[in-house]
Amino acid sequence: MNKEPKILVVDDEPQNLELLSAYLEKAGYNNIATASNGIEALRLVDGNPPDLILLDVMMPKMNGFEVCKKLKDDSKTRLIPIVIITALRDVEDKIRALDLGADEFLSKPFNRAELMARVRALLKMKHLNDNLEAAEDVIFTLARTIEARDRYTEGHCERVSDLSITLAKEIGLSENDQKALKNGGILHDIGKIAIDETILNKPGKLTPEEFEKMKSHPVKGAEICKNLKTLTDALPIIRSHHEKCDGSGYPDGLKKDEIPVIARIMAIVDVYDAIITDRPYRKGLPQDTAINILKEESKK
């Protein structure tokens, strides 16, 4: 059963708070909180985040633009939809609000029907985002559960994620690529959920048949994650982190520039971590040895 959405109304004029609250209640929204200034609004959001904020601009102590910026800069609150409702009418004010991350901008006096239509649309969007976040949480938990089945690889995904981000920053990749590497690092082996544990934990060399099954995990992983738009940028990593520049990798036999840069970074870090970490069939090797092995591989 879906919980009743909570709406926070922020305005320094009591009559405006009463009017907006009455409109919302008449439309069937009864879980309403109010704040008369920006500082009080931030305190309420911190204590119990709402699903939507109706925010005035011209207020004492902290104006609506400042409140909007603080909320949109915080990863914990950036997805809360914000409707700026203000007496300001200049295009520059609207542009400023939208640049700060506001989802809608309405000038007073506003049309009640238009406001309610936007409230409904934004609450629907928030509900969808919440569902996506929940699905994403399930996938990340699944990835960590898979990893925890094997004491030799436990912690591998977190290490790979962290190291790949460090490498990405060193070579100047964008924040989007860094985020993709963060997610891809955690999820790159999620397809192993479809691989039999006797293969995953076999202490010796895999047979050709077993290796063929193991080689299916990048495709299966990409299939698991493909329907989540928030993970779209990580899909090339999940699918292509076992490709090699000479075309001998899998699953698609990509060569050199055919392999996405972020997948190449993940491949390097993945192999590096595998070399220096203990495995069922051998002890981990020194870091210098790992680097020399990677240098030799890069010549192929």
Domain spans in the chain, listed from the N-terminal domain onward: 7-129, 149-298
Residue 1 pLDDT exceeds 50: no
67/83 Cα distance (integer angstroms): 12
Residues 6+ apart with CB under 8 A from 279: 152
**98 half-sphere exposure, CB direction, 13 A CA radius:** 9
65/105 Cα distance (integer angstroms): 12
244/276 Cα distance (integer angstroms): 20
Please give the DSSP secondary-structure letter assigned to residue 255. Answer: B
173/237 Cα distance (integer angstroms): 15
For the domain spanning 7-129, the CATH number is: 3.40.50.2300
Long-range contacts, 192-195 (Cβ 8 Å, 24+): 192/146, 192/217, 192/221, 193/142, 193/146, 193/220, 193/224, 194/220
Token pair recorded at residue 28:
């069937």
Q: What is the pLDDT of residues 130-145, one digit of tens each?
A: 877 788 888 888 888 7
- Please name the helix (run of DSSP H) or strand (run of DSSP E) that holds residue 35, with its range, or none: strand 32-35
Closest CA to 6 of 40, 48, 58, 67: 48
Q: What is the pTM of this model?
A: 0.61
Q: What is the pLDDT of residue 213?
A: 94
Average pLDDT over the chain, rounded to an integer: 89
Q: What is the pLDDT of residues 145-202, one digit of tens each?
A: 777 666 556 688 889 999 999 999 999 999 999 999 999 999 999 998 888 888 887 8
For the domain spanning 149-298, the CATH number is: 1.10.3210.10
95/73 Cα distance (integer angstroms): 17
The residue whose two tokens read 């309403």 is 32
239/251 Cα distance (integer angstroms): 7
